[in-house]
Structure 1
Amino acid sequence: MTSLDDLPLRDELRGETPYGAPQLDVPVQLNTNENPYRPSETVVADMAAAVAEAARGLNRYPDRDAVALRAGLAEYLTADGGVPLATEQVWAANGSNEVVLQLLLAFGGPGRTAVSFAPTYSMYPEYARDSHTEWVLGRRADDFTIDREHALGVIAEHRPSVVLLASPNNPTGTALPIDDIAAIVAAAPGVVIVDEAYGEFRRSGVPSALSLLPDSPRLVVTRTMSKAFALAGGRVGYLAASPAVVDAVRIVRLPYHLSSTTQAVAGAALRHADELLGAVAELRAERDRTVAWLRGRGLQAADSDANFVLFGTFADRHAVWQGLLDRGVLIRETGPDGWLRVSIGTPAEMAAFRTALEEVTA
């Protein structure tokens, strides 16, 4: 039987494994930062009707530039960030993963460099690898914020075409001060991508990088509908930037990359944004309760502006992860050594997590 070793695979892909969190059938799944609340039957019915209407035209290609969806997203972001955005400043694709990969295809490439600061999202180096972009990884401070002096030094040394900043950061949940983002945008010679996949979960008073867009033509803010909108299965991500950045991404996007049915479902979700985002406040509160509970048990828990909490530290984190799994609770073994990450679920799911962790660490 043919194996990968028998194929003319690119050398840098040999020995690599596909990205992905464990998908296990357990009662409590708290490992992929999904919104635990399903869409209501009203929302489901509207989505179904929108898909049915789209299905009547599936013999034709979709709107390759998803203009109606982008207009809806621009309206939503304008309300969320307080900065007016036009349709021409927004782009959508199959999850924010595809959005960021498209940005690397447009602005990275051979002879170019992308920079980020660890610990951060583990897909970033894969985007760089897949686009033949050199990858440089700086460090974060002990509290997982950006060490501004260090970051500016890395940028000055490597002159990157792309800087990737996750805020709130995955897997730590750390939101970056807007002044730090502004300083990096001012210093970077290329584009700066601020990945706000968890932006809706940020605490009150924490600004979005959207506020910097009017004066920052090389800033890109990416978002997703997977988390706060409870649309992980819909696979819709998007960006806000200058129209020129959107034009650059349109050059590298695949033709008709966003299906008619995906656009229809996302449009229906936007029509019900208030309802779908209704659980965000409760998830924030549950997150804060989880941080306080973990610290009350003598554990470390990172300050979080996301819908998850990084906690530890453990001499053998895998044993703790396995102990929780044995009790029907699946979390994520990720981040710096000794740390684990738990997504915020329903009150019942979090109660099960607390009980299991107490038993494992007793």
Structure 2
Amino acid sequence: MSAIPQNLPLRNDLIGEEPYGAPQLDVPVCLNVNENPYQPDPAVCEAIARRVRDIAPTLNRYPDREHIELRQAFSDYLARESNTRLDVDELWGANGSNEIMLQLFQAFGGPGRTALGADPTYSMYPEYARDTFTGWQLAHRKADFTLDIEALIEQIHAVGPSMVLLTSPNNPTGTPLPMDEIERVLEVCETAEVAGANAGVHPIVVIDEAYVEFRKSGTESAVSLIKAHPNLAVSRTMSKAFAFAGARVGYLAASKGIIDCVRIVRMPYHLSAVTQAAALAAFEHTDEQLSRVEHLRETREATAAWLETQTYKGEPLDVAESGSNFLLFGGHFDKRDEIFDELLKRGVLIRVVGPAGWLRVCMGTDEEMARFREALTQVLRIVEAA
């Protein structure tokens, strides 16, 4: 990042900050940002082109700012994927789940408000808090990265957050979040106080399900709890399992009350007509878009088993349990930056993220994973001997 001129009136709290983002490097094997590595099916590309071509003559007009047709597509998809039928007014779309999260912070955060998370967690959450002048507090997870439910409940009562933000599966660890723990947090928040708010105001619970399609078979989604819990908001995205990262489409499932709060802070016409058309085309071909999910699950399990056979300085590598399309591994890498650099020299880009001693790799194609295994085997021996 180039130096910002000192004569610009950048907010004082932003001075010295860097833009968020994983490295974008032109290397043969990119396994660092948790994308679906498989390109959309040709039929999907044709459908996108057709839909965009159809709406192109209308681009002189603003799009449907309520994106009703797309919200109906979200409803149809969740009825199929999570066995839960939600009304159109219980759904909301935006430019990726990042914008969904920012809108939630804009609506429920702000000066005098606090959001509560459980670390390690997604590194963008404190930036949403910073950008909306919201306090950010944490309850620490257990050593195996599962939620310390008692510590979290204690923090809810001590902090009085307006939002409790949990990720399922967790990022960057991949840790699943059991439904009974979600329900317990929901029940606590139904009566907990929000610091500085009027009497009778209680926290909302936000479950970030960006990677939920990669969950193990038979695992329920938190969207199934929305009808029973009006204080629940579930964030989803088409970027990951749906192989649609470049389209930037996220969506929120929640009670009508929460959706209406988000609608207050949304920018006018925030979803372009082109974005809506592309997303509708993708939903026309849901089977094709999700066709590689099961294979990526199998790749994850096989990669985890392989990593557990590897050693570093005489100790087997630790691998965190994952319900996502990535794995956090290592546990005792005292030279993780060197390991990252050596992998990069071999054309393999992974991620330095999460607690010290760990690295994260997302699942690629079979060929990419073979390159990763070959490179990591070489690199561990080199760094170990240095």
Determine if the TM-score, normalized by the shorter chain, exceeds 0.5: yes
| Structure 1 runs (4+) greater than 6 angstroms displaced | none
Across the aligned residues of Structure 1 and Structure 2, the Cα RMSD in angstroms comes to: 1.1
SS at match of 2:33: coil
SS at match of 1:136: strand
In structure 2, C-alpha distance between the alignment counterparts of 1:289 and 1:178, rounded to whole Å: 26
| Structure 1 partner of 2:289 | 276
| Structure 1 partner of 2:33 | 32
How high is the TM-score relative to the length of structure 2? Answer: 0.92
In structure 2, C-alpha distance between the alignment counterparts of 1:3 and 1:71, rounded to whole Å: 44
State whether structure 2 residue 162 is matched by structure 1 residue 149: no
Matching residue's letter, 2:301: D
Q: Which moved more, 1:166-175 or 1:207-216?
A: 207-216
| Structure 1 partner of 2:75 | 74
Deviation (angstroms), 1:2: 8.8
SS at match of 2:171: coil
How many residues are treated as equivalent by the alignment?
A: 362
- For structure 1, which runs of at least 5 residues remain unmatched after alignment? none
1:1-33 deviation digits (Å, cap 9, x = unpaired): 993422111111111100000000000000000
In structure 1, C-alpha distance between the alignment counterparts of 2:137 and 2:5, rounded to whole Å: 28
- For structure 2, which runs of at least 5 residues remain unmatched after alignment? 190-201, 311-315, 382-386
Cα 1:10–1:205 shift into 2, 3 Å? same
Deviation (angstroms), 1:207: 1.5
Matching residue's letter, 2:330: G
How high is the TM-score relative to the length of structure 1? Answer: 0.98
| Structure 2 partner of 1:300 | 318
Deviation (angstroms), 1:224: 0.2
In structure 1, C-alpha distance between the alignment counterparts of 2:217 and 2:45, rounded to whole Å: 30
Deviation (angstroms), 1:148: 0.6
State whether structure 2 residue 288 is matched by structure 1 residue 287: no
Q: Could you tell me which of 223, 228, 238 is aligned with 1:210?
A: 223
Q: Could you tell me which of 242, 249, 256 is aligned with 1:229?
A: 242
Matching residue's letter, 1:231: F
SS at match of 2:58: coil
| Structure 2 partner of 1:324 | 343
In structure 2, C-alpha distance between the alignment counterparts of 1:4 and 1:208, rounded to whole Å: 47
| Structure 2 partner of 1:103 | 104
| Structure 2 partner of 1:88 | 89
Matching residue's letter, 1:212: L
In structure 2, C-alpha distance between the alignment counterparts of 1:342 and 1:4, rounded to whole Å: 37
Q: Could you tell me which of 295, 303, 311 is aligned with 2:329?
A: 311
In structure 2, C-alpha distance between the alignment counterparts of 1:3 and 1:28, rounded to whole Å: 33
Cα 1:161–1:4 shift into 2, 3 Å? farther
Deviation (angstroms), 1:84: 1.7
Matching residue's letter, 1:309: L
1:36-73 deviation digits (Å, cap 9, x = unpaired): 00011111011001111121100000000111000000
In structure 2, C-alpha distance between the alignment counterparts of 1:204 and 1:54, rounded to whole Å: 38
Identity %: 55
1:200-230 deviation digits (Å, cap 9, x = unpaired): 0001122211121111101000100000110
State whether structure 2 residue 214 is matched by structure 1 residue 195: no
1:133-169 deviation digits (Å, cap 9, x = unpaired): 1111121111111101000000010110011101001
| Structure 2 partner of 1:46 | 47
Matching residue's letter, 2:27: V
In structure 1, C-alpha distance between the alignment counterparts of 2:247 and 2:26, rounded to whole Å: 21
Q: What are the residue-to-residue correspondences of 1:10-21 with 2, within 5 Å? A: 10-21=11-22
Q: Could you tell me which of 244, 252, 262 is aligned with 1:239?
A: 252
Deviation (angstroms), 1:351: 0.4
| Structure 2 partner of 1:337 | 356
In structure 2, C-alpha distance between the alignment counterparts of 1:54 and 1:13, rounded to whole Å: 40
In structure 1, C-alpha distance between the alignment counterparts of 2:243 and 2:345, rounded to whole Å: 27
Cα 1:2–1:30 shift into 2, 3 Å? closer
In structure 2, C-alpha distance between the alignment counterparts of 1:3 and 1:75, rounded to whole Å: 47
In structure 2, C-alpha distance between the alignment counterparts of 1:291 and 1:22, rounded to whole Å: 24
